[in-house]
Structure 1
Amino acid sequence: MQDMMAIVEPLIPSLRRYARSLLRDQVSADDLVQDCLERVIGRWHQRRADGDARTWVFTILHNLAINRMRQTARRGVHVPVDDTSETAFATPPTQEDQLHHQAALTALAALPEDQRSVLLLIGVEDLSYAEAAAVLGVPLGTVMSRLSRARQRLAQLIEEGPARSATTGPGLRRVK
C-alpha cells in the first residue's frame, strides 16, 4: 500500500491537468481523476510489476475519459433540472404540424395543373400577377381567376382532409 501511495500520489497534479485538457471542464475532470484513482487502487494488483505504473495510470485515465466523452455524445450533456428554464421542458408537439404539412401537399397535388401552376408561381415563387401571366402565356384576368379558384379549392381540400379521399375512391359494386 505504501509503494502504491508513493507512486500514485505525485501523479495526481499531472492527472488533473491531463483530464482538464481532455474534458475542458474542471468539475468533470476532477470527477474523472477520482474515478481513475478508485480504479487504480482497486486494480493495483493487476498491474504489471515490470511495467511503468505512470503509463498504466495515465492509460486508465485516458480510457475513462474516452468512455465518458462517448457517453456524453450518446446521452447529451447533463444539465441540472434547477438550472433549466421551464421552456426547455415544454416543447410543442410536431406531429400535428407534420400532418397539416402533408395534408397541404396532398391537397396541392390534387389541384388541376393550371390552378396549381398559378398558385405556386404567385404564392411560393412570389411572382406578381403580371409576371405569372407572362410565364404561363395567359391574360392577366385568367391568372386572377385561376388563382381565386385554386385558393378556394385548396382550402376546401385541406378542410375535408384525408378522410374524403378514402370515401371517394372506387366503391364496391354489387354484381348479380
Structure 2
Amino acid sequence: MERQFHSVTIQLAKGDITRQPDLDAVINAANAGLMPGGGVAGAIHRAAGAELEAACRPLAPIDPGSAVITPAFSLPNRHVIHCLGPVYGVDEPSDRLLTRCYERALDLAEEAKLGSLGFPAISTGAFAYPKRDAAAIALHVMVQRAPSLSAVRLIRFVLFSDDDLTIHREILAELG
C-alpha cells in the first residue's frame, strides 16, 4: 500500500529492514545502550557488522524519545538512525515519547538531507507497546510532518508480520 501526503510518499511493506537497498537510511528500534540485542536492533547490528557497534558506543546511552545517526557500514544504506522508543507502561508519557522518537528520526534525516527512510514498528516488540496504538502514532507523525519535509520524499514502514502490515494498512487508509 502507498499513499501520497504533500510531496512525501508513505509505503507499507512486509519484509526485512536490513534488505532495503533503495533507501538512504533505515531506522533501528534501538536499546538505550545502542548495542546489539534481539529483534530489529539485533538484525541491524548483524547486517551492519562490528563497525556499527563501535560507532554507537560513544553515542550511548540515549533516553526514550531520542535518536542518533551513524553510518550504515555493511548495510545497503548510507545511514542508520537509532531511535529509543518507550517501554510501554514504564516510560511515561509513552505516547509522547513514541511521538518524539519518530519526530527526532525525521529531524535527523532532514539534517542529513536523506530522501528515503525505512521504519520498523518501534516499541512494539520487547517494549510491548500496543501495535495499533503505536502504528497510529507513527503514521500520524508522518502525515503531520509531511508538509514541512524538504529532503525526505519516501517513508517506508518495513513490517515484520502480516498482523503489523494489516494494522498499518487500516490506519493509513483512515488518514486524510
Q: TM-score, normalised by structure 2?
A: 0.21
Larger relative CO (CA 8 A, sep 6+): 1 or 2?
A: 2
Larger Rg: 1
> Which structure is higher in helix share?
1
